[in-house]
């Protein structure tokens, strides 16, 4: 007999223990018959993040991911959804593939949706995109890794902005006003699409609104990751209110 609530799929979601955005975001995106089962990746909060300490902290999240996978496997999930983003971009496509495959292997071979691959798939779904801009709550060293990944996927980054959040918890405190001003700063006739990375930054609704007044794709990483998980699992529901990605593709 199947799970009475997860009669379509049980998603195991891995996210940093400091992340307070990705869990409610994914629940808002969840269609009937799909359930999310959150497993927290132990992440000490850092109150004075810098270029160097951000990279160290992000790699620690990557190192602790397997423990979170092992914990959530006891509910017998059907698929894994990564609720963190920075480490999924590190070391280009090769690094992203290695991270995904390591997580999959730890789960016994389940499929995995990662932020990096999901954003690339979203850009491909929209089609006709060559030049992008992106922003993050990260520091410049981490933005460089994001830029490298997208360039290896064939996209030119025209502009990017690291918001340099001073703690892991501070990422969740970034306001819609800051996101709005940042998107205006990044946009231009030379940009085909704008991407927001950083799963602890709330953008799933504002990205949808920004698409309407910019007239171009605006991709929030949480939307892209959950969309990728749904579509990979054969769930084609069109979900309104969160942008063209979930409504059209």
Backbone torsion region of residue 163, taken as left when φ is above 0, otherwise alpha when ψ lies between -120 and 50, otherwise beta? alpha
Same domain, 83 and 46: yes
Tell whether the model's pLDDT for residue 48 goes beyond 60. no
Same domain, 15 and 69: yes
Q: Over pLDDT 90: what percentage of the chain?
A: 88
Q: Are residues 99 and 129 in the same domain?
A: no
157, part of any domain = yes
Same domain, 169 and 141: yes
User: Under a CB-based contact definition with an 8 Å cutoff, are residues 45 and 168 in contact?
Assistant: yes
Instruction: Report yes or no on 2 lying in a domain.
Output: no
pLDDT band of 61, cuts 50, 70, 90: confident
**More confident call, 221 vs 64:** 221
The answer on 205 and 130 residing in a single domain is yes
With a cut of 70, say whether residue 55 has pLDDT above it.
Answer: no
Residue 161 counted as domain residue? yes
Q: Which residue do the tokens 């749904």 mark?
A: 230
Structural domain contains residue 1: no
Would you say 121 and 155 are in contact if contact means Cβ atoms under 8 Å apart?
no
* C-alpha distances in Å from residue 160, one per residue of 90, 140, 141, 148, 197: 16, 9, 12, 12, 11
Question: What confidence tier does 49 reach under pLDDT thresholds 50, 70, 90?
Answer: low
Q: What is the CATH number of the domain that holds 62?
A: 3.40.50.12500
Is residue 4, in this structure, part of any structural domain at all? no
203: domain CATH number is 3.40.50.1860
State pLDDT tens for residues 6-24.
999 999 999 999 999 999 9
Instruction: Provide the number of structural domains found in the chain.
Output: 2
Do residue 13 and residue 89 come from a single domain? yes
Question: In the structure, what pLDDT confidence band is assigned to residue 140 with cuts at 50, 70 and 90?
Answer: very high
- Supply the mean pLDDT for the chain: 94
pLDDT at residue 70 is higher than 70:
yes
Is residue 72 in a domain?
Answer: yes
Q: Do 134 and 107 share a domain, yes or no? A: no
Please give the pLDDT value at position 47: 66
Q: How far apart are CA 228 and CA 222, in angstroms?
A: 10
Specify if 249 maps to a domain.
no
Asked if residue 149 and residue 101 are part of one domain, the reply reads no
Range of the domain at 184: 122-221
**Residue 211 and residue 162 share a domain:** yes
- Are 112 and 198 members of one domain? no
């Amino acid at each position: 007999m199947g799970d009475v609530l997860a009669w379509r799929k049980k998603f195991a979601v891995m996210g940093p223990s400091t992340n307070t955005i990705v869990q409610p975001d994914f629940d808002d995106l969840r269609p009937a018959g799909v359930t999310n089962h959150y497993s927290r990746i132990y992440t000490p909060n850092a109150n004075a993040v810098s270029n160097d300490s951000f990279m160290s902290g992000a790699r620690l999240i990557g190192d602790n991911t397997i423990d979170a996978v092992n914990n959530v496997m006891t509910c017998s999930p059907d698929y894994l959804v990564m609720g963190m983003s920075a480490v999924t971009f590190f070391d280009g496509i090769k690094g992203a593939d290695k991270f995904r495959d390591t997580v999959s292997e730890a789960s016994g071979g389940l499929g995995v949706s990662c932020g990096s691959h999901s954003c690339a798939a979203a850009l491909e779904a929209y089609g006709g995109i060559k030049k992008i801009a992106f922003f993050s709550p990260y520091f410049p060293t981490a933005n460089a890794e994001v830029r490298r990944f997208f360039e290896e996927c064939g996209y030119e980054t025209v502009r990017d902005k690291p918001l340099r959040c001073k703690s892991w918890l501070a990422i969740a405190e970034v306001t819609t006003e800051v996101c709005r001003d940042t998107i205006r700063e990044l946009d231009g006739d030379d940009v085909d699409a704008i991407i927001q990375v950083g799963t602890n930054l709330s953008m799933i609704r504002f990205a949808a609104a920004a698409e309407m007044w910019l007239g171009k794709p605006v991709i929030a990483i949480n939307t892209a990751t959950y969309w990728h998980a749904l579509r990979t699992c054969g769930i084609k529901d069109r979900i309104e209110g969160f942008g063209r990605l979930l409504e059209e593709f």
